[in-house]
Amino acid sequence: MSAVAACLIALALAPAAPAADRIFWTNISASASVASANLDGSGAGANLNTAGATSGNFRGVAIDVARNRLFWTSFQGKVSFANLDGTGGAQDLNIAGAVVSNPTGLAVDPVAGLVYWTDPGNNTIGFARADNTGGGGNLTITGTATLASPIGIAVDPVAGKIYWANPTPDNKISVANLDGSGSIDLNVSGATAPDNPQGVALDLVAQRIYWTSVYGQKISYTRLDNTGGGGDVTTAAGTVANPSGLAVDAEAGRVYWGNVGNSTLGYARLDNSGGGAVSTSGATANGVAWPALLKTPAAAGAPAIGGGSVAPATLTCSRGAWATDLLASFLFRAPGTFAFRWSRDGADVPGATGATLTATQAGTYRCTDVASNPAGSASQTSAAHVVAPAAVPPVTPPSAPVLSRLAIAPTAFRAADRGASAVAPTPASRGARVTLTLDVAASVGYRVTQRRSGRRTSAGRCAAPTRGNRGRPRCARVVTLAGAFTRAGAAGANVFRFTGRLGGRKLAPGSYRLVATPRALGLAGTSRSVAFRILAPPRSR
């Protein structure tokens, strides 16, 4: 197949398709193209449709999921873009206002609506609007940083920073504020000195910046706080052959790079336990460089149902929380579109695809928020919302609900890194299995308490320690932590998994009690509690 024919093949990534986390790269050979492959090695996609844009000498890539676009630079003085789904052809970005020579590295800030690039041909960092309306310019870099033929670039909009690599002969890794002020060259002590560094990418979890050394054949890093403490990545089976461009997936514990020297994609584990190669079988791989990761949306908090509890009731489903792009890591996963589904008593409600539903029948309702981007779709489902029959008035039970058994296993576990406080008891979910028995269907409220030290006041109360009461006798007090949660319980045995998270955060290592209080039709039953312990996370090697 000719290079022209390859460029005309659309990249099929319809949101309805099965989820497929992907890696994109540019082939910087004479037959320049943008290619992709599945990260799990299960296959490769066709080349991105770049017809309509200036061809040849492709370099850096970045993704704007919300706009369904992939941007790339061309050493011929252009920044171009195309739709990720292959529709509509490609075109060159309007960069009017910027002085452009040989744009190379590329970064995108979708929230600010800006695309940034390095230009080694005129020693500048340029920018333009991502919506193709122009408004371009060049950053005025002030401070002490080197700005000499900059190549790699990464943007951290949250911290308001922009990073770049200065290749041989300067061999510096530099940073400035996004307005160009306060620039410095980073302290890279501890790592092998940069030797023609090009790609840069950040690991914001470990607070590191990684770079490729084309001549040194290494992947190295240093701390973002400019205190040094750098090092080199143990690549082992991950080939390093004139590496150019980087992408970091901190959650998966990997760093990826393109090998111009042998047209492969390498990766290494961030814990320095070695690496390997990403399969590019079926994809164009000729001068592989500048990788970027596109992953399916990642759930960060389930939706919730609000509304009435007696039929007919108007129910509203809030949108769940979803993880954002890690722009400085070249990892893109933000949702582009959303949809809703509703179920009653476990069966889908036909035609219910909006955020609002009129519940005309009694039952247990749940809503599902479906988020999609060009890599695929993911979903998360709300807790149950019970709607009672309209014709039957509420019946007050003769007595409060009884919670006859409460247990947790294991009693010591590590808290989950993300997600809600309580999830379905699947084998893959982290946390402890909580079981309880109710005599009737009831809403069960859960809170977490912890014993802490205190000082006995003159009134006999155990109060929190202060400077003023430090001479008083010691005592122990029970503190209820913020972040209580509620789950609907059925008559009989119930089970769920407690993740060790409360109020959207992980509990710190220590000892606690989980207290459960059943409530039905306004009556609260006797609380029960069980002890548990949160373990510290394992030490990194």
Phi, psi of 509 (to 5 degrees): -55, 135
Which of these, 366, 360, 325, lies nearest to 343 by C-alpha position? 366
pLDDT of residue 38: 94
Structure tokens at 431: 């946390």
Q: Which residues pair with 313 in a beta bridge?
A: 359
Angle at 89 between CA 87 and CA 93, to 5 degrees: 120
Number of Cβ within 10 Å of residue 226's Cβ equals 13
How many CB atoms neighbour CB 334 within 10 A?
21
- Taken as a whole, the chain contains a residue count of 541
Return phi, psi of residue 401, to 5°. -60, 150
Helices (H) and strands (E) in the chain, counts: 1, 49
Instruction: Give the model's pLDDT for residue 44.
Output: 85
User: How many whole angstroms separate alpha carbon 81 and alpha carbon 114?
Assistant: 13
Q: 388 vs 305, 311, 391, 401, 469, CA distance in Å?
A: 15, 6, 9, 18, 53
Q: Per 3-state DSSP, what percentage of the chain is helix, strand, and coil (rounded to 5)?
A: 0, 50, 50
Residue 535, H or E segment: strand 528-535
> Under 8 Å CB-to-CB from 466, ≥6 apart: which residues?
455
pLDDT in the model for residue 16: 33
Q: What is the DSSP string of 29-73?
A: SSS-EEEEEETTSS-EEPPP--BTBPPS-EEEEEEETTTTEEEEE
Integer angstrom CA distances of residue 493 from 407, 435, 436 = 11, 7, 6
The pLDDT of residue 393 is: 62
Q: For residues 409 and 532, what is the distance between their CA atoms, to the nearest angstrom?
A: 9
The whole-angstrom separation of Cα 175 and Cα 183 is 5
d(CA 205, CA 418): 14
Cα–Cα distance between 305 and 399 in angstroms, integer? 28
Residue type, 466: T
Phi, psi of 60 (to 5 degrees): -70, 155
Residue 458 has a pLDDT of 84
Q: What is the sign, positive or negative, of the torsion defined by CA atoms of 463, 468, 473, 474? A: positive
Residues contacting 461, CB < 8 A, separation 6+:
none
What are the tokens at 119?
Answer: 């230009």
pLDDT, residue 540, reads 67
Q: Smallest Cα–Cα separation from 192: which of 212, 163, 166?
A: 212
The confidence score (pLDDT) of residue 15 equals 32
251 three-class SS: coil
Alpha-carbon span 279 to 185, nearest angstrom = 36
319: helix, strand or coil = coil
For residue 16, count other CB atoms closer than 10 A to its CB.
7
Q: The whole model's pTM is what?
A: 0.69
CA distance 95 to 78: 8
Separation CA 83–CA 332 (nearest Å): 15
Strands 376-381 and 363-373: antiparallel
Place of tokens 């390859």: 6
Tokens, residue 78? 């252009």
In contact, 117 and 72? CB cutoff 8 Å: no
Residues 170 and 88: their CA atoms lie apart, in Å, by 42
Residue found under tokens 């590496």: 243
d(Cα 345, Cα 332) in Å, to the nearest integer?
36
pLDDT in tens, the chain (541 residues): 333 233 322 222 233 334 589 999 999 976 789 999 999 988 887 799 999 999 888 999 999 998 899 999 998 899 999 999 888 889 999 999 999 999 999 999 999 999 999 999 999 999 999 999 999 999 999 999 999 999 999 999 999 999 999 999 999 999 999 999 999 999 999 999 999 999 999 999 999 999 999 999 999 999 999 999 999 999 988 889 999 999 999 999 999 999 999 999 999 999 999 999 999 999 999 999 999 999 999 999 999 999 999 999 999 999 999 999 999 999 999 999 999 999 999 999 999 999 999 999 999 999 999 999 999 999 999 999 999 998 756 665 568 999 999 999 999 999 999 999 999 888 777 899 999 999 999 999 999 999 999 999 888 899 999 988 888 999 999 999 999 999 999 999 999 999 999 999 999 999 999 999 999 988 999 999 999 999 998 876 5
